[in-house]
Amino acid sequence: MLKHIFKRLLLLIPTLFGVITLVFFMIALAPGDPARVMLGERANAQQLEQLREELGLDKPLIQQYGLYLSRIVRLDLGKSITSGQQIKDEISERFPATIELAIWAMIFASTIGIIVGVTSARKRNSWIDYTAMGGSLVGVSMPVFWLGLVLIMIFSVWLDLLPTGGRMNVRYYFQPITNFYILDGIILWIREGNSQYLVSAFQHLILPTIALGTIPLAIIARTTRSSMLEVLQQDYIKTARSAGIKERRVVFRYALKNALLPVITIIGLQFGLLLSGAILTETVFSWPGIGKWIYVAIGARDYPAVQGGIIFISVFFVLINLVVDILYSVINPKIRMQ
């Protein structure tokens, strides 16, 4: 098992090298002079030259690449051009917000997705099945931005139930402790006996969770259904049924366990995708996470920040995949043996 993990970790190195190289050249070879774009209408020759030097754009591309690689190896992502802050600080300030939202969105998507998928499979070709699968088709093709705005319109403006965006009621003057607001809310509840922070953090999470979780929910539901259907056709299920074992036990005890294997892979992949896909959700819901931060950095042509952000997300994505693989082999010993 350890050997398996170690091998997988080693395989990370070429993957990351590829990602870093790709990100560097994608941005370096993008048309236009970043210094020009950053200074806009007010550039004069002296400022342009100064900024190019600051960005290292006056050096040959290969040399820029070499310098870049050597910095990355030392885990130095450099400084953001717009803020002058260390990029790793900028990321660590915002990452908890993204992770918190992604975790909730995944819990939401997995729970409901699996329930819907299993129900559909059991009631195959019934109206429940058609509704669920039709609904999931709508879910997959839903533009997140639009869904977010509609949710705000209905639940915040019309029904006046939930806030329109942000992570906490700004009038509470909340000072984060861990930057995971639900956790902070619990800590403050225990420490000060005041539950308002927890309640507010939870309220602020609901709509973005639904918006971000809808697409993965639909995908998980569909995967669960088809995987479940396949398993329910297997001989051992037929055997179990003919042995007179209760249907509930057959489905949940014997079928589901095997049917969930591909679902876990999908959940892992979706979780990785959520991190990058959160850009739109974070923008609609004013969620101060890393997706929105990268989006702003792209607009400002803050190249070091864009590079740093993409590399960070890629590393995270790859690590999630690793964890999924390990989980997979824990659940399914056949894989471990290979």
Whether the CB-CB separation of 250 and 244 falls below 8 Å is answered with no
The phi, psi pair for 86, rounded to 5°, reads -65, 135
Tell me the C-alpha distance between 257 and 96, whole Å: 32
Q: What residue ranges bind another protein (CB under 8 A)?
A: 31-37, 40-45, 47-48, 82-84, 93-94, 111-112, 115-116, 119, 148-149, 152-153, 156-157, 160-171, 173-176, 196, 199, 202-203, 206, 247-248, 283-286, 288-289, 292-293, 296
Q: Which is nearer to another protein, 177 or 319 (CB)?
A: 177
Full 3-state SS string of 83-150: CCCEHHHHHHHHHHHHHHHHHHHHHHHHHHHHHHHHHHHHCCCCHHHHHHHHHHHHHHCCCHHHHHHH
Whether the CB-CB separation of 240 and 232 falls below 8 Å is answered with no
Q: Which is nearer to another protein, 296 or 315 (CB)?
A: 296
From the CB of 303, what's the least distance to another protein, in Å?
12
Tell me the C-alpha distance between 22 and 27, whole Å: 9
Q: Which is nearer to another protein, 176 or 269 (CB)?
A: 176
What SS3 state is found at 267? helix
In angstroms, how far is the first alpha carbon of the chain from the final one?
Answer: 11
How distant is the alpha carbon of residue 259 from its chain centre?
A: 24
Q: Which is nearer to another protein, 166 or 262 (CB)?
A: 166
Q: Which is nearer to another protein, 137 or 161 (CB)?
A: 161
From the CB of 83, what's the least distance to another protein, in Å?
5
Q: Which is nearer to another protein, 210 or 310 (CB)?
A: 210
122 to 25, 53, 135: CA distances (angstroms): 50, 65, 17
From the CB of 59, what's the least distance to another protein, in Å?
18
From the CB of 35, what's the least distance to another protein, in Å?
8
Whether the CB-CB separation of 106 and 267 falls below 8 Å is answered with yes
Q: Which is nearer to another protein, 202 or 328 (CB)?
A: 202
In sequence order, the β-bridge partners of residue 86 are 79
From the CB of 111, what's the least distance to another protein, in Å?
6
From the CB of 80, what's the least distance to another protein, in Å?
9
Helix (H) or strand (E) holding 215: helix 196-232
From the CB of 208, what's the least distance to another protein, in Å?
11
